[in-house]
Structure 1
Amino acid sequence: MATKLKVLRAEHDLTQEELASALGTTQKVISSWETGNATPRPAMMQKVEDYFKVPKEEIFFTAFNYSN
């Protein structure tokens, strides 16, 4: 299942490398976020929200979904 971050990146026709460069991180980090193996820190979540103009709660839903 594709994560919202992966979907947004694809909609903007960006590679993981391009997004990583825009956010000041690495392709490996972007990959780990997209696969759910890692969750960005709050400051980085804010950068992603600002970049895509989509609420971080929507992009990183599982990180905010505490009612399981």
Structure 2
Amino acid sequence: MPSKEQGTLTNQIRRFRFEHDEMTQQTLASQVGVTRQTIIALESGKYAPSLLLALRIARAFDVRVEDIFQLVEES
């Protein structure tokens, strides 16, 4: 039986916000159509974004999704 791929999703949202004129969580939330609380949950790793939301966040920073989100393999 094949094993399920395990891992933890990490992100660089906070770093990208600060590199973009110290963008606030509220500004990013408004740009991508979610609440500030959602951005907080994403940054703290408590919430994994949908593919659509990940794409919107990447577009807000004009980068690729994989520049922001990484899957860290667990052994």
Aligned length: 63
Question: What is aligned with 2:6?
Answer: none
Question: What is aligned with 1:10?
Answer: 18
Identity %: 30
Shift of 1:54: 1.6
Where does the alignment leave 5 or more consecutive residues of structure 2 unmatched?
A: 1-10
Higher share in strand: 2
TM-score (norm 1): 0.82
Question: What is aligned with 1:31?
Answer: 40
Which one of 59, 62, 66 corresponds to residue 68 of structure 2?
A: 59
Please tell me whether Structure 1 or Structure 2 has the larger radius of gyration of its CA atoms. Answer: 2
Kindly report structure 1 stretches of 4+ aligned residues shifted beyond 3 Å: none
Shift of 1:57: 1.6
Alignment RMSD, CA only?
Answer: 1.3
